[in-house]
Structure 1
Amino acid sequence: MAKAKPVATLSEAESSVYRERIKKRLQERNAVLIAHYYTDPEIQALAEETGGFIGDSLEMARFGARHEAQTLVVAGVRFMGETAKILSPEKRVLMPTLEATCSLDVGCPADEFAAFCDQHPDRTVVVYANTSAAVKARADWVVTSSIALDVVRHLKDQGQKILWAPDKHLGDYVRRETGADVLLWDGACIVHEEFKAKGVLDLKKVHPGAAVLVHPESPQSMVEVADVVGSTSQLLKAARELPNDTFIVATDRGIFYKMQQENPQRRFMEAPTAGNGATCRSCAHCPWMAMNSLERMLRVLDDEQPSNPEEIHVSPDLIDQALKPLTRMLEFPRP
């Protein structure tokens, strides 16, 4: 798996210059900035300041489809740009860098996944949103972590067996919660897989009143010590509604920007990612999300050539195929 390239740190004065230039270029290009919760706080703040959006991958794409801007600047990882393009094929979708990918996406190559599906033709194929357009096109359903349980319960009630990809931890969580027959692809998120239950329990001894919020891409041991398990939006909701004043959070620390903004009187701490002698590969922050920088964003917006190297392209045939399972999810009635 390719390593994410480091991003240089800007001074506050340099950041201010970049932000102002980006704001101007967004207006000139009829563009809107759409950022994921896991991007750096300065990116999220810029999205808010310019009338853009902060959210999870699906809500990012839906916002882009509704917005009148003809160019979408997606700050996140590549599959998010592809999803935005699938839902807005008539719009131009740019990213600060197409090198920003995802361990779940990269760990589920379309050709290998198609062969895996062909080996199990009796199963309904359900893929997580963190996948390429080509993998989505091979699926019967696309789901996010917020709707996965509802969809799989629905399929189980219909007597269907599930083939799930790519996150084995989220898939196993869905299997345990629903009791469905779920065959798992072997993939994992390098951020969530590092959280350690023992470290959380040790931290709870120091902060016994803290609530533990865990994303279901985390291992089962983490889910078992959680007070709330949920998607990014569900964890944000829990931070607003639970009575606790301290939270231990097991997901990318980029979410702290929104959590602290919505709950300035509360304290949020990263769940431990490593014990003594362990090697931390992500330290609670996706290295590819960190590749979204002000410098790269301005470079993309400054490039007025018809062919932009950081533009998302998805073939019309692939869009048509991937849109079917996405639409099935979007139209699924929530309880």
Structure 2
Amino acid sequence: MPLDTSVKQAAVDLPFIRVPDLPQWPVLSPAEQERLKQDIKTMLRRQNAVLVAHYYTDGALQDLAEETGGCVADSLEMARFGTEHPATTLVVAGVRFMGETSKILNNEKRVLMPDLAATCSLDEGCPAGLFSAYCDEHPDYTVVVYANTSAEVKARSDWVVTSGIALPIIRHLARSGEKVLWAPDRHLGQYVQKQTGAEMIYWPGSCIVHERFRAEALAEMRSRHPQAAVLVHPESPEEVVALADVVGSTTALIQAVVTLPNPEFIVATDAGIMHKMQQLAPGKVLIEAPTLGEGATCQSCARCPWMGMNSLQNLAEVLKTGKNEIVVSADLARKAAIPIRRMLDFARDMRK
């Protein structure tokens, strides 16, 4: 009997998500910024701390992480880095689920974040209670959740995945004849299902940044830049993904800018990624994908407001005060670590 490869969306009422305005940080003079960076470097050394920053954070934070022996990466590499680094304090510049993941895997370490209110629309749109009830309704499905989820949701899952490793893991499960309950991003779920042929049901969440890219405006922009390659993160709507030359995780899109011969790239993901792209490929022209179209209120909204809550100013403050510590109970960390370590082990075996 052939597999049912349709993707069925959960019929649930998602909670209202309050989206903050992008923070407007005070502009620092070059001298002020350098003094602040030196203060942070000193505090990191004294506290045996290391800074881990996501590609979507401000470029100054990314630079500081690398200058101090930390890490700038996607969420999979951030998780792996924290487990392998000897520092006793991890300072995570990103959004809350990234800090929680670091704490889950390193419960004995202190994990700090510049702002604990820096969350994620995917995380907020998948409350643990609602999600657990949905899983209970489908006990014969293997539960696979995206990293952009709370510790409680991870603890309810069988596998945790990032966009960089979702395809090989779902292919593995499909070949084993397992049916997949996917959460929380419906666009990534659709993309994964089409690529793997897995039998899937999925949660109806989405990322507020990637949801706003518009196919019609992207096609028009591409016509004006015929030499450009279109790079799309798979959290984007299906019709946007269909226009891509490269679909992939943040790391895959960065690699595409470095390796492809195109002189220009239209980038359909959070614009924070362009900092690393420009560093690695300084001769390439990077263009933000448009969000013009029905339902959009700005030409390019490609900025996560929660990622924007990280700054040099509040990073220095958290190191001075020790506030904004991530706390995950030992029991919850133990449960949530199982599906995360399953992903990390799978990734390690792939590298071998």
User: What is the TM-score with the length of structure 2 in the denominator?
Assistant: 0.91
In structure 2, the CA distance between the partners of 1:281 and 1:311, relative to structure 1 (3 Å rule), is: farther
The answer to whether structure 1 residue 149 and structure 2 residue 163 are counterparts is no
- Alignment-mate amino acid for residue 4 of structure 1: P
Tell me the secondary structure at the aligned position of residue 51 of structure 2.
strand
The answer to whether structure 1 residue 301 and structure 2 residue 315 are counterparts is no
Give yes or no for contact 1:194–1:280 (8 Å, CA) kept in 2: no
The answer to whether structure 1 residue 103 and structure 2 residue 121 are counterparts is yes
The answer to whether structure 1 residue 313 and structure 2 residue 327 are counterparts is yes
Give yes or no for contact 1:212–1:226 (8 Å, CA) kept in 2: yes
For residues 73-112 of structure 1, what are the structure 2 equivalents within 5 Å?
73-112=91-130
Alignment gaps of 5+ in structure 2: 1-16
Tell me the secondary structure at the aligned position of residue 24 of structure 2.
coil
- Pick the aligned partner of 1:9 from 13, 19, 26: 26
Give distance in 1, aligned partners of 2:63 and 2:20.
23
- Alignment-mate amino acid for residue 312 of structure 2: L
1:243: which partner in 2?
261
Offset, 1:124: 0.6
- Alignment-mate amino acid for residue 350 of structure 2: R
2:177: which partner in 1?
159
- Alignment-mate amino acid for residue 285 of structure 2: R
For residues 103-252 of structure 1, what are the structure 2 equivalents within 5 Å?
103-252=121-270
Offset, 1:277: 7.7
Please report the RMSD computed on the Cα atoms of aligned residues, expressed in angstroms: 1.5
Offset, 1:9: 3.0
- Alignment-mate amino acid for residue 225 of structure 1: L
Give yes or no for contact 2:51–2:91 (8 Å, CA) kept in 1: yes
Tell me the secondary structure at the aligned position of residue 115 of structure 2.
coil
Q: Deviations over 1:20-66 (max 9, x none)?
A: 21111111111111100000111101111111110011211211111
Tell me the secondary structure at the aligned position of residue 213 of structure 1.
strand
Give distance in 1, aligned partners of 2:140 and 2:45.
51
Give yes or no for contact 1:71–1:91 (8 Å, CA) kept in 2: yes
Tell me the secondary structure at the aligned position of residue 331 of structure 1.
helix
Offset, 1:282: 7.5
- Alignment-mate amino acid for residue 133 of structure 1: A
In structure 2, the CA distance between the partners of 1:160 and 1:277, relative to structure 1 (3 Å rule), is: closer
Tell me the secondary structure at the aligned position of residue 350 of structure 2.
coil
1:31: which partner in 2?
49
Tell me the secondary structure at the aligned position of residue 97 of structure 1.
coil
Offset, 1:321: 0.6
Tell me the secondary structure at the aligned position of residue 164 of structure 1.
strand
- Alignment-mate amino acid for residue 226 of structure 1: A
User: What is the TM-score with the length of structure 1 in the denominator?
Assistant: 0.96
Offset, 1:276: 7.3
Give yes or no for contact 1:214–1:251 (8 Å, CA) kept in 2: yes
Tell me the secondary structure at the aligned position of residue 127 of structure 1.
strand
Number of aligned residue pairs:
331
Give distance in 1, aligned partners of 2:91 and 2:27.
21
Q: Deviations over 1:196-229 (max 9, x none)?
A: 1111111111110100000000000111000000
Give distance in 2, aligned partners of 1:105 and 1:282.
23
Give distance in 1, aligned partners of 2:180 and 2:231.
27
For residues 31-50 of structure 1, what are the structure 2 equivalents within 5 Å?
31-50=49-68
1:62: which partner in 2?
80
Give distance in 1, aligned partners of 2:54 and 2:63.
11
- Alignment-mate amino acid for residue 170 of structure 1: L
Give distance in 1, aligned partners of 2:299 and 2:80.
32
Q: More displaced, 110-119 or 23-32?
A: 23-32
1:285: which partner in 2?
303
Offset, 1:281: 10
Alignment gaps of 5+ in structure 1: none
Give distance in 2, aligned partners of 1:292 and 1:320.
28
The answer to whether structure 1 residue 324 and structure 2 residue 341 are counterparts is no
